[in-house]
Structure 1
Amino acid sequence: MKIRERQTSHMIDFLFPLALFFCFAVSAIVLILMATGIYRSTTESSARNHVGRTALAYVSEKLHQGDADGDVFIGALGEEPALVLRRQSDGGTYCTYIYEYEGALRELFLKEGAEVPPENGSVIAEIKAFSMEKISDGLFSFVCREESGETLTHLVSVRSQSAGGTGHE
């Protein structure tokens, strides 16, 4: 009879640590799978926001670089509305146009008055839509809709007194 008790005791001594290890392994796998899902959704969200935020930061920086008295305004490149940054250089007047065309935010640098089709602009970022509005003297609103459908809005203030018109002033 003692032999049987001894064998049962040994069986429990073996099964309990095995069951404990199994529970630990399953918990670790579940935790890793959950962490992977959270990491994936965070990186996807970050990547989605990156395009729109980068485009808006680019526009904001270009606007501040071109901030001069009356040389920043919302105009047009052909039929496309555009942020226009006008600058005097080498005896001529040149304009940088920032606009949305065919699903991309684009930039084009031209001599003032030159006629160039909007598809010639350099692509800055692939976006769904981009709009701009003069809120008040020196304050612009830019709205970027990303391919994911998320909409980002950015307000930018220029420091020059008469900046922010809607055409050549």
Structure 2
Amino acid sequence: MRGQENQRGRLTGVLFTILLFLVFVLCALFSVLIGGKVYENINARAEDTYRGDVALSYIANKVRQGDEAGRVFLSEDKGVTVLKLEQSIGDSVYVTDIYYQDGRLWELFTDSQSGLSVGDGNEILECSEVSMEMSGGLLHIKTEGKGGGDLWLSLRSGGKAHE
């Protein structure tokens, strides 16, 4: 009889060890699955923030590069607000148009007499909606959505209103 009790004790010990191992494996599996979901959420949030920040930084750097007296202004073209940055190269006047359309930020660099307009530019970045307003010498740029933000730029030139 002692042999049977001894075998039951061993069997119980082996089953307990196997069950404990299975619990450990399941905990590890759930930890990996939950960690993957957390990583996915963090990555999505970082991507949203990145797109909003890059759009603001891109526009701010372009404005800072092209900030000359009376050469930075907003206009409307086909129902789209366009930030225009004019510059003289030789005897010609060139314009950099920056605008938001169809979920993307666009840029068009062209001669002011070329006849090109909204829709002819190059895609810069896919992002949430970007809006721009100018009040005196201040340019307000705003991005919508989860990673949205806003930026106020004080134009050294004062913009077209200060000519």
TM-score normalised by length of structure 1: 0.80
Unaligned stretches of 5+ residues in structure 1 = none
Structure 2 residue 149 is matched with structure 1 residue 153: yes
Alignment of 1:109-148 (within 5 A): 109-127=109-127, 129-137=129-137, 139-145=138-144
The residue that corresponds to 2:32 in the other structure is 32
C-alpha distance in 1 between matches for 2:48 and 2:128: 12
Q: How far did residue 157 of structure 1 move?
A: 2.2
C-alpha distance in 1 between matches for 2:155 and 2:139: 12
Q: How far did residue 135 of structure 1 move?
A: 4.2
1:75 to 1:101, Cα distance in 2 relative to 1, 3 A = same
Select between 48-57 and 12-21 the one with higher mean Cα deviation: 48-57
C-alpha distance in 2 between matches for 1:110 and 1:82: 14
1:85 to 1:55, Cα distance in 2 relative to 1, 3 A = same
Amino acid at match of 2:62: K
TM-score normalised by length of structure 2: 0.83
**Moved runs in structure 1, 4+ residues, more than 6 A?**
none
Q: How far did residue 92 of structure 1 move?
A: 2.2
Alignment of 1:1-169 (within 5 A): 1-77=1-77, 79-127=79-127, 129-137=129-137, 139-145=138-144, 149-150=145-146, 152-158=148-154, 160=156, 162-165=157-160, 169=163
C-alpha distance in 2 between matches for 1:20 and 1:79: 67
Percent identity over the alignment?
28
